[in-house]
Structure 1
Amino acid sequence: MAGKPADYRDVHIGGLIEERRLRAGLSREALAAPLEVSLSQLGKYLKGANRLSATDLDILARVLGVPVGYFFESMPGRETAQAGLSDRPQARLEALEGWTGFAEAVARAADAHLDEDRRQALGSLVRAVDHALSGQKTFDKANDSGAPD
Protein backbone atom coordinates (compact mmCIF):
# COMPACT_ATOMS: atom_id res chain seq x y z
CA MET A 1 0.00 0.00 0.00
CA ALA A 2 1.23 3.50 -0.84
CA GLY A 3 1.46 6.34 1.68
CA LYS A 4 -1.42 8.51 2.78
CA PRO A 5 -3.24 10.39 0.03
CA ALA A 6 -2.45 14.06 -0.48
CA ASP A 7 -4.72 16.66 1.12
CA TYR A 8 -5.13 20.44 1.55
CA ARG A 9 -1.80 20.64 3.40
CA ASP A 10 0.03 19.23 0.40
CA VAL A 11 -1.70 21.77 -1.85
CA HIS A 12 -0.56 24.54 0.53
CA ILE A 13 3.06 23.30 0.60
CA GLY A 14 3.13 22.84 -3.18
CA GLY A 15 1.88 26.38 -3.68
CA LEU A 16 4.57 27.79 -1.39
CA ILE A 17 7.27 25.84 -3.21
CA GLU A 18 6.05 27.15 -6.56
CA GLU A 19 5.87 30.71 -5.19
CA ARG A 20 9.45 30.55 -3.83
CA ARG A 21 10.68 28.96 -7.07
CA LEU A 22 9.27 31.81 -9.12
CA ARG A 23 10.62 34.46 -6.72
CA ALA A 24 14.06 32.90 -6.93
CA GLY A 25 13.90 32.73 -10.73
CA LEU A 26 14.53 28.98 -10.72
CA SER A 27 13.33 26.66 -13.46
CA ARG A 28 11.31 23.57 -12.71
CA GLU A 29 14.31 21.58 -13.89
CA ALA A 30 16.38 23.19 -11.13
CA LEU A 31 13.93 21.83 -8.55
CA ALA A 32 13.42 18.41 -10.13
CA ALA A 33 17.15 17.63 -10.47
CA PRO A 34 18.11 17.48 -6.76
CA LEU A 35 14.96 15.44 -6.05
CA GLU A 36 15.84 13.10 -8.90
CA VAL A 37 12.25 13.18 -10.18
CA SER A 38 10.69 13.92 -13.56
CA LEU A 39 9.13 17.27 -14.38
CA SER A 40 5.77 15.52 -14.38
CA GLN A 41 6.30 14.27 -10.82
CA LEU A 42 7.50 17.70 -9.71
CA GLY A 43 4.32 19.18 -11.18
CA LYS A 44 2.26 16.79 -9.05
CA TYR A 45 4.13 17.95 -5.94
CA LEU A 46 3.61 21.61 -6.84
CA LYS A 47 -0.13 21.09 -7.39
CA GLY A 48 -0.43 19.07 -4.19
CA ALA A 49 -1.60 15.96 -6.02
CA ASN A 50 1.24 13.92 -4.49
CA ARG A 51 2.71 14.16 -1.01
CA LEU A 52 6.39 15.08 -0.56
CA SER A 53 8.53 13.03 1.79
CA ALA A 54 10.26 14.80 4.68
CA THR A 55 13.60 14.21 2.93
CA ASP A 56 12.39 15.78 -0.31
CA LEU A 57 10.90 18.73 1.56
CA ASP A 58 14.26 19.27 3.27
CA ILE A 59 16.03 19.20 -0.10
CA LEU A 60 13.60 21.72 -1.58
CA ALA A 61 13.91 23.99 1.46
CA ARG A 62 17.68 24.05 1.01
CA VAL A 63 17.43 24.72 -2.73
CA LEU A 64 14.94 27.55 -2.10
CA GLY A 65 16.93 28.96 0.84
CA VAL A 66 14.21 28.68 3.47
CA PRO A 67 13.92 26.65 6.68
CA VAL A 68 11.65 23.60 6.45
CA GLY A 69 9.32 25.25 8.96
CA TYR A 70 8.57 27.95 6.37
CA PHE A 71 6.18 25.56 4.66
CA PHE A 72 4.17 25.07 7.86
CA GLU A 73 4.09 28.57 9.38
CA SER A 74 1.04 29.75 7.43
CA MET A 75 -0.68 26.35 7.21
CA PRO A 76 -4.47 26.71 7.00
CA GLY A 77 -6.27 25.45 10.08
CA ARG A 78 -3.34 26.11 12.44
CA GLU A 79 -4.70 29.36 13.88
CA THR A 80 -5.52 27.78 17.23
CA ALA A 81 -2.61 26.20 19.03
CA GLN A 82 -3.20 22.62 20.01
CA ALA A 83 -1.04 20.65 22.39
CA GLY A 84 1.19 18.18 20.63
CA LEU A 85 4.45 16.35 20.97
CA SER A 86 6.42 19.52 20.35
CA ASP A 87 4.73 21.18 23.33
CA ARG A 88 6.41 19.06 25.96
CA PRO A 89 8.38 21.06 28.53
CA GLN A 90 11.92 21.98 27.58
CA ALA A 91 14.91 20.93 29.67
CA ARG A 92 16.11 23.65 32.03
CA LEU A 93 19.32 25.33 30.95
CA GLU A 94 20.95 24.53 34.28
CA ALA A 95 20.60 20.84 33.48
CA LEU A 96 22.81 21.14 30.44
CA GLU A 97 26.32 19.80 30.88
CA GLY A 98 27.94 23.12 30.15
CA TRP A 99 27.97 26.16 27.97
CA THR A 100 31.23 25.34 26.19
CA GLY A 101 30.75 25.78 22.48
CA PHE A 102 27.25 27.24 22.93
CA ALA A 103 27.68 30.00 20.36
CA GLU A 104 29.22 27.63 17.81
CA ALA A 105 26.41 25.08 18.23
CA VAL A 106 23.76 27.76 17.79
CA ALA A 107 25.55 29.14 14.72
CA ARG A 108 25.65 25.68 13.10
CA ALA A 109 21.94 25.15 13.77
CA ALA A 110 21.09 28.63 12.47
CA ASP A 111 23.02 28.05 9.24
CA ALA A 112 21.08 24.87 8.66
CA HIS A 113 17.60 26.14 9.49
CA LEU A 114 17.20 29.93 9.31
CA ASP A 115 17.08 32.52 6.56
CA GLU A 116 19.62 35.38 6.50
CA ASP A 117 17.53 37.92 8.46
CA ARG A 118 16.75 35.47 11.24
CA ARG A 119 20.39 34.34 11.38
CA GLN A 120 21.47 37.95 11.86
CA ALA A 121 18.92 38.54 14.63
CA LEU A 122 19.84 35.29 16.36
CA GLY A 123 23.54 36.10 16.00
CA SER A 124 23.06 39.38 17.86
CA LEU A 125 21.20 37.61 20.63
CA VAL A 126 23.80 34.84 20.93
CA ARG A 127 26.64 37.37 21.08
CA ALA A 128 24.82 39.17 23.92
CA VAL A 129 24.25 35.90 25.81
CA ASP A 130 27.84 34.80 25.24
CA HIS A 131 29.07 38.17 26.44
CA ALA A 132 26.88 37.98 29.57
CA LEU A 133 27.98 34.43 30.36
CA SER A 134 31.64 35.35 30.04
CA GLY A 135 31.19 37.89 32.86
CA GLN A 136 32.28 40.87 30.80
CA LYS A 137 30.60 44.18 31.48
CA THR A 138 28.69 45.51 28.48
CA PHE A 139 29.59 48.93 27.18
CA ASP A 140 26.53 51.17 26.96
CA LYS A 141 27.54 54.33 25.12
CA ALA A 142 24.33 56.15 26.02
CA ASN A 143 24.79 55.56 29.76
CA ASP A 144 28.57 55.75 30.02
CA SER A 145 29.60 58.51 32.40
CA GLY A 146 33.23 58.11 31.44
CA ALA A 147 34.22 57.34 35.02
CA PRO A 148 36.05 54.05 35.58
CA ASP A 149 34.38 51.35 37.72
Structure 2
Amino acid sequence: MAGKPADQRDVHIGGLIEERRLRAGLSREALAGPLEVSLSQLGKYLKGANRLSATDLDTLARVLGVPVGFFFEGMPGRDPHAPGLSDRPQARLEVLAGWTGFAEAVARAADTHLDGDRRQALGGLVRAVDHALSAQRAFDKANDSGPSD
Protein backbone atom coordinates (compact mmCIF):
# COMPACT_ATOMS: atom_id res chain seq x y z
CA MET A 1 0.00 0.00 0.00
CA ALA A 2 1.47 3.33 -1.02
CA GLY A 3 1.63 6.27 1.38
CA LYS A 4 -0.32 9.48 0.96
CA PRO A 5 0.79 11.65 -1.95
CA ALA A 6 2.95 14.67 -1.20
CA ASP A 7 1.20 18.05 -0.90
CA GLN A 8 1.87 21.72 -0.12
CA ARG A 9 3.08 20.84 3.37
CA ASP A 10 5.81 18.63 1.91
CA VAL A 11 6.85 21.48 -0.40
CA HIS A 12 7.03 23.78 2.64
CA ILE A 13 9.17 21.32 4.62
CA GLY A 14 11.44 20.63 1.65
CA GLY A 15 11.97 24.36 1.15
CA LEU A 16 12.89 24.85 4.81
CA ILE A 17 15.36 21.96 4.66
CA GLU A 18 16.99 23.39 1.54
CA GLU A 19 17.15 26.88 3.08
CA ARG A 20 18.79 25.58 6.28
CA ARG A 21 21.19 23.40 4.27
CA LEU A 22 22.37 26.41 2.30
CA ARG A 23 22.63 28.63 5.39
CA ALA A 24 24.72 25.96 7.10
CA GLY A 25 26.96 25.58 4.06
CA LEU A 26 26.23 21.86 3.79
CA SER A 27 26.36 19.91 0.56
CA ARG A 28 23.47 17.76 -0.58
CA GLU A 29 25.72 14.75 0.04
CA ALA A 30 25.95 15.82 3.71
CA LEU A 31 22.16 15.44 3.97
CA ALA A 32 21.75 12.36 1.80
CA GLY A 33 24.37 10.38 3.77
CA PRO A 34 22.65 10.33 7.19
CA LEU A 35 19.30 9.63 5.48
CA GLU A 36 20.88 6.78 3.50
CA VAL A 37 19.19 7.98 0.28
CA SER A 38 20.46 8.87 -3.18
CA LEU A 39 20.96 12.47 -4.26
CA SER A 40 18.02 11.98 -6.61
CA GLN A 41 15.76 10.94 -3.72
CA LEU A 42 17.01 13.83 -1.59
CA GLY A 43 16.15 16.19 -4.43
CA LYS A 44 12.58 14.86 -4.43
CA TYR A 45 12.33 15.54 -0.69
CA LEU A 46 13.71 19.07 -1.11
CA LYS A 47 11.22 19.85 -3.89
CA GLY A 48 8.35 18.34 -1.90
CA ALA A 49 7.65 15.70 -4.53
CA ASN A 50 8.07 12.92 -1.95
CA ARG A 51 7.08 12.88 1.71
CA LEU A 52 9.67 12.49 4.46
CA SER A 53 9.08 10.09 7.34
CA ALA A 54 9.12 11.28 10.95
CA THR A 55 12.39 9.39 11.43
CA ASP A 56 13.98 11.19 8.48
CA LEU A 57 12.71 14.56 9.73
CA ASP A 58 14.30 13.83 13.10
CA THR A 59 17.59 12.92 11.40
CA LEU A 60 17.53 16.09 9.31
CA ALA A 61 16.70 18.23 12.34
CA ARG A 62 19.77 16.88 14.12
CA VAL A 63 22.03 17.38 11.10
CA LEU A 64 20.73 20.93 10.56
CA GLY A 65 20.75 21.81 14.27
CA VAL A 66 17.06 22.70 14.58
CA PRO A 67 14.18 21.23 16.59
CA VAL A 68 11.82 19.01 14.59
CA GLY A 69 9.09 21.59 15.17
CA PHE A 70 11.07 24.05 13.04
CA PHE A 71 9.80 22.29 9.92
CA PHE A 72 6.18 22.95 10.90
CA GLU A 73 6.50 26.66 11.66
CA GLY A 74 4.50 28.71 9.17
CA MET A 75 2.97 25.57 7.70
CA PRO A 76 0.54 26.47 4.90
CA GLY A 77 -3.06 25.49 5.50
CA ARG A 78 -2.77 25.61 9.29
CA ASP A 79 -4.86 28.12 11.20
CA PRO A 80 -2.53 29.50 13.88
CA HIS A 81 -5.52 30.52 16.01
CA ALA A 82 -7.05 27.04 16.16
CA PRO A 83 -5.02 24.84 18.56
CA GLY A 84 -5.22 21.07 18.25
CA LEU A 85 -6.23 18.76 21.06
CA SER A 86 -2.63 18.32 22.20
CA ASP A 87 -1.78 22.04 22.13
CA ARG A 88 -1.48 23.68 25.51
CA PRO A 89 -1.06 27.38 26.13
CA GLN A 90 2.57 28.17 26.86
CA ALA A 91 3.33 30.60 29.66
CA ARG A 92 6.17 32.97 28.90
CA LEU A 93 8.86 31.93 31.34
CA GLU A 94 10.03 35.39 32.35
CA VAL A 95 6.65 36.39 33.82
CA LEU A 96 6.54 33.60 36.39
CA ALA A 97 7.03 34.70 39.99
CA GLY A 98 10.17 34.08 41.99
CA TRP A 99 12.76 34.41 39.22
CA THR A 100 16.19 35.79 39.86
CA GLY A 101 17.97 37.99 37.31
CA PHE A 102 19.90 34.98 36.04
CA ALA A 103 16.74 32.91 35.66
CA GLU A 104 15.07 35.73 33.72
CA ALA A 105 18.00 35.84 31.29
CA VAL A 106 17.81 32.06 30.85
CA ALA A 107 14.05 32.33 30.27
CA ARG A 108 14.45 35.01 27.60
CA ALA A 109 17.07 32.87 25.83
CA ALA A 110 14.81 29.81 26.09
CA ASP A 111 11.87 31.69 24.55
CA THR A 112 14.10 32.69 21.66
CA HIS A 113 15.91 29.42 20.99
CA LEU A 114 13.91 26.44 22.29
CA ASP A 115 10.68 24.75 21.27
CA GLY A 116 7.73 24.65 23.70
CA ASP A 117 8.47 21.30 25.35
CA ARG A 118 12.16 22.06 25.91
CA ARG A 119 11.25 25.56 27.13
CA GLN A 120 8.84 24.10 29.71
CA ALA A 121 11.39 21.48 30.82
CA LEU A 122 14.09 24.12 31.25
CA GLY A 123 11.63 26.37 33.08
CA GLY A 124 10.82 23.61 35.55
CA LEU A 125 14.49 22.93 36.16
CA VAL A 126 15.35 26.60 36.69
CA ARG A 127 12.36 27.07 39.02
CA ALA A 128 13.47 24.04 41.06
CA VAL A 129 17.03 25.36 41.33
CA ASP A 130 15.75 28.83 42.22
CA HIS A 131 13.47 27.36 44.89
CA ALA A 132 16.25 25.18 46.29
CA LEU A 133 18.69 28.08 46.46
CA SER A 134 16.18 30.44 48.08
CA ALA A 135 15.41 27.83 50.77
CA GLN A 136 19.04 26.80 51.27
CA ARG A 137 19.93 25.86 54.83
CA ALA A 138 23.31 25.34 56.38
CA PHE A 139 24.53 21.79 55.89
CA ASP A 140 24.20 19.43 58.79
CA LYS A 141 24.62 15.67 58.84
CA ALA A 142 20.99 15.07 59.87
CA ASN A 143 19.68 16.77 56.70
CA ASP A 144 22.09 15.00 54.36
CA SER A 145 20.05 12.81 52.02
CA GLY A 146 23.12 11.47 50.23
CA PRO A 147 24.95 8.24 50.92
CA SER A 148 26.51 7.89 54.36
CA ASP A 149 29.99 6.61 55.03
**TM-score (norm. length: structure 2):** 0.64
Aligned residue for 2:134, secondary structure, equals coil
1:85 to 1:127, Cα distance in 2 relative to 1, 3 A: closer
- Identity in percent: 71
CA distance in 1, matches of 2:122, 2:59: 28
Query: Which structure 1 residue ranges, 4+ long, deviate > 3 Å from structure 2?
Result: 116-119, 121-128
| Aligned twin of 1:56 | 56
CA distance in 2, matches of 1:127, 1:52: 34
1:118 equivalent to 2:114? Answer yes
Partner of 1:86: 86
For structure 2, the residue ranges without an aligned partner over 5 or more in a row are: 90-109, 137-149
Counterpart secondary structure, 1:81: coil
Q: 1:17 to 1:2 in 2, by over 3 A?
A: same
Matched with 2:147 is none
CA distance in 1: counterparts of 2:2 and 2:60, whole angstroms:
22
**Alignment match of 2:129 (pick from 122, 128, 131):** 131
Cα distance, 1:60 vs structure 2? 0.3
Matched, 1:36 2:36: yes
Shift of 1:74: 1.2
Indicate the RMSD between aligned Cα atoms, in angstroms.
Answer: 3.0
Map of 2:76 onto structure 1: 76
TM-score by length of structure 1 reads 0.64
How big is the shift at 1:61?
A: 0.4
For residue 136 of structure 1, report the CA deviation from its aligned partner.
1.3
Gaps of 5+ in 1: 90-113, 139-149
What is the aligned residue count? 112
